[in-house]
Structure 1
């Protein structure tokens, strides 16, 4: 059944067919997608929103992935066509991408969409592709993890996509923006709202029916974030949806890849490496002890560490409010 305002595209029908074929023909995918039925979850409620925890031990490969340059050089790129398992099939998206199912899923429908060339994770050139993918996949949220913001393959550009509405932010964002948001920019095409610390994660929320207007705003914000002097691409996660002929885009500016708890030893360790899904309120935990023991205070502390700091966020908002 489609959500109100959604119509499944022909491309999305073909993606669903690929999912079903791979879940039947690829034993690894069949086992792990079936295993989602056994995944445990629990909710931590805050005032006006919630964080959903998922105990998913198969995601240890992503959560604990070594993404330093030396480790990447020592392994074959699992997103390159010549390194994929022989059972893995793909669906072309234009000339530049191949849609694959993710064999270690978080969602009942979970895709990885790599570029057909081995180039590093860097959104600037490919931002229009994020918008077009979300337009072609209206039942999905399409997301981008920066090279130091949860991407387990920072050496090979890719997007991911998951079944819409499985991240809490998908159903909360309008209410959250109305309750805690500050309008930074609005015209006849585009609305841009900043949401601050009451939501634990700081974010920018765009709504627009214009791809060109979103590109203009993204270029401006990328320029402002560049001024922070982070090494390489400014740290960020992006979530994109397309509903009722309009894009909804959420950008999370980041300060850290992983919180200090990730590197702690003994009882103080929490194996949590926030990526787009975690920033969207669905926290994936591969260890049962973390799933059972994580608290609201832990989440406040972890999100504060990895999100952009207060001073830089206020400066970013002030720059955005200046008319271009």
Structure 2
């Protein structure tokens, strides 16, 4: 069994404790693991371009290494037939991590989108479901203040829907996080209490809710209420949702993206309209990932808007959720 590089506890209140361990892990992995080093070096030269969608600056990144994720087969049969790449016994020998309370491991993602990109899988092979692990995400974000934590639902971009995991990327990269202080002014307060606020962004290109609070119990309460109101059918392991989470100035900000579809129509097209884009938290946060150069070259602002509209719940569904929440004040 591989030795863990470092250990950490979420009860550790020392500032910078996990930050220092993560920086050490990244340095160690990039010096000893050729695949990771090569992909991070390649990331420095990937092409990107800025786009404007309904007045919001967004970015397209041409990232060939992400074809593994964008093209992943996540149907139950395909999942059963492949070894889980997040289980410790299936990982590359070079991959080391930081053990968190004997429950999670912080790993360097060898196929990065961010200049600093982490994957945080459970040490147990359990399904990707956020309901009983939401507070874990908040605590991890608190211990990683330089990062945005994100969760992709099992039918919302997770390439390992059979293994619980979060990801984290350095702050300042995603437009929604980098510009939130300005974009927040374009939101309406659905719930406003002394210890909690729920916002609905009224002009973002797709349905976006945001929770802000320093009280983890309030965030848990209102997340459970939102979660219970999300569209859900018996064939889905959980309601479709993507989450981003940031710890800043003593409080959490959680961006919620309720979903209606896993992949847009253009993903399945057989003609020149095909775009191999499988939206997940990063895309919904403003950085579209295109693993094929042809898609990077031809995608337009209208394509991006159409994709966002197709995979998100519609305005009427969002209205119904917000109206129901307002009766729970």
TM-score by length of 1: 0.95
Partner of 2:190: 184
Q: Distance in 1 between matches of 2:151 and 2:269?
A: 27
Q: Distance in 2 between matches of 1:285 and 1:301?
A: 16
Q: Distance in 1 between matches of 2:262 and 2:53?
A: 24
Higher mean alpha-carbon deviation, 218-227 vs 51-60, is at 218-227
After superposition, where does 1:271-310 map in structure 2 within 5 Å? 271-310=276-315
Task: Give CA deviations for 1:147-195 in whole Å, capped at 9, x if unaligned.
Answer: 000000000000000001101101222322312x221101111111011
Task: Give CA deviations for 1:201-259 in whole Å, capped at 9, x if unaligned.
Answer: 21111110111110000011111115676722000000000011110110000000000
| CA-CA distance at 1:95 after TM superposition | 1.7
Partner of 2:10: none
| Alignment match of 1:253 (pick from 254, 258, 264) | 258
| CA-CA distance at 1:293 after TM superposition | 0.8
Higher mean alpha-carbon deviation, 265-274 vs 143-152, is at 265-274
1:25/1:152 Cα in 2 relative to 1: closer, same or farther (>3 Å)? same
| Equivalent residues of 1:177, 1:194 under 8 A apart | no
Partner of 1:81: 88
Higher mean alpha-carbon deviation, 187-196 vs 46-55, is at 46-55
Q: Distance in 1 between matches of 2:94 and 2:313?
A: 41
Partner of 1:169: 176
1:230/1:77 Cα in 2 relative to 1: closer, same or farther (>3 Å)? closer
Q: Distance in 1 between matches of 2:255 and 2:292?
A: 28
Report the 3-state secondary structure (helix = DSSP H, G, I; strand = E; otherwise coil) of the residue aligned with 2:159: coil
Q: Distance in 2 between matches of 1:176 and 1:31?
A: 36
Partner of 1:57: 64
Partner of 2:7: none
Q: Distance in 2 between matches of 1:9 and 1:105?
A: 23
After superposition, where does 1:1-324 map in structure 2 within 5 Å? 9-179=16-186, 181-196=187-202, 198-225=203-230, 231-324=236-329
Q: Distance in 2 between matches of 1:322 and 1:139?
A: 36
Partner of 2:4: none
Report the 3-state secondary structure (helix = DSSP H, G, I; strand = E; otherwise coil) of the residue aligned with 1:199: coil
| CA-CA distance at 1:12 after TM superposition | 1.1
Higher mean alpha-carbon deviation, 198-207 vs 277-286, is at 198-207
How large is the RMSD of aligned CA atoms in angstroms? Answer: 1.4
**Relative to total residues, which structure has the larger helix share, 1 or 2?**
1
1:54/1:295 Cα in 2 relative to 1: closer, same or farther (>3 Å)? same
Runs of 4+ deviating beyond 3 Å: 226-230
Q: Distance in 2 between matches of 1:230 and 1:248?
A: 31
Task: Give CA deviations for 1:102-129 in whole Å, capped at 9, x if unaligned.
Answer: 0000011000000010001000110010
| Equivalent residues of 2:53, 2:305 under 8 A apart | no
| CA-CA distance at 1:304 after TM superposition | 0.4
TM-score by length of 2: 0.93
How many pairs are equivalent?
316
Report the 3-state secondary structure (helix = DSSP H, G, I; strand = E; otherwise coil) of the residue aligned with 2:272: helix
